[in-house]
Amino acid sequence: MAAPGEADSGATSRTRKSFSVIGLIVEVLVATLIAAAAGAGYAFLTAAPSSMPTEAAQPGDKGKAKDVACASGVNLVDLPPIVTNISAPADLWVRVEASIVLDGKTTPHPEILAAEIATDGLAYLRTLTIAQIQGPIGLENIRQDLADRAVVRSNGKVSELILKTLVVQ
């Protein structure tokens, strides 16, 4: 038979264990709720406003739906990826991914213009040497030359060319 003091210490340790497990569960739930609230708040604050028209366009209203989508007046159009070898050394390849910023109201078919600009960029990249590509100055020169070609090809409708990637292998 156990002494009266030993029985009390066993009951107390069981009570402490159950309180510590319950306390741990409560702490984990509170931390989870705080993390979920922080994530929801971040998503709410960083959500971009929708540029899609609120009304569904009818099949015959293609021009009308396009005008609503371009109401801001500026479009960001991705160019098709450009992959080519450079002039010297001929065994090095360059891959460029870029986007153009253009006036959406005066450009009826931006995807056609983007393909033409990509073709001009391909012709330009084939003339480069490795020395012209190296370093931050080479990168800036390539970006500026591609931007100038885009402005000329688009008759001034392109306001900026954004390089996303430039890989040399």
Structure tokens at 28: 């984990």
Residue 20: the pLDDT is 81
| Annotation: CATH topology of 71-168 | Tetrahydropterin Synthase; Chain A (3.30.479)
CA distance 48 to 32: 26
Rounded to the nearest integer, the mean pLDDT of the chain is 80
pLDDT in tens, 19-51: 688 888 889 999 998 988 888 888 878 765 544
Q: What confidence tens digit (pLDDT) does each residue in 46-72 have?
A: 765 544 444 444 444 444 333 334 456
Q: pLDDT tens-digit profile of 78-93?
A: 999 999 999 999 999 9
Percent composition of the chain: helix, strand, coil (DSSP 3-state, to 5): 55, 20, 25
From the centroid of its chain, how far is CA 73?
Answer: 21
Per-residue pLDDT at 11 exceeds 60? no
Q: Give domain limits for the chain.
A: 71-168
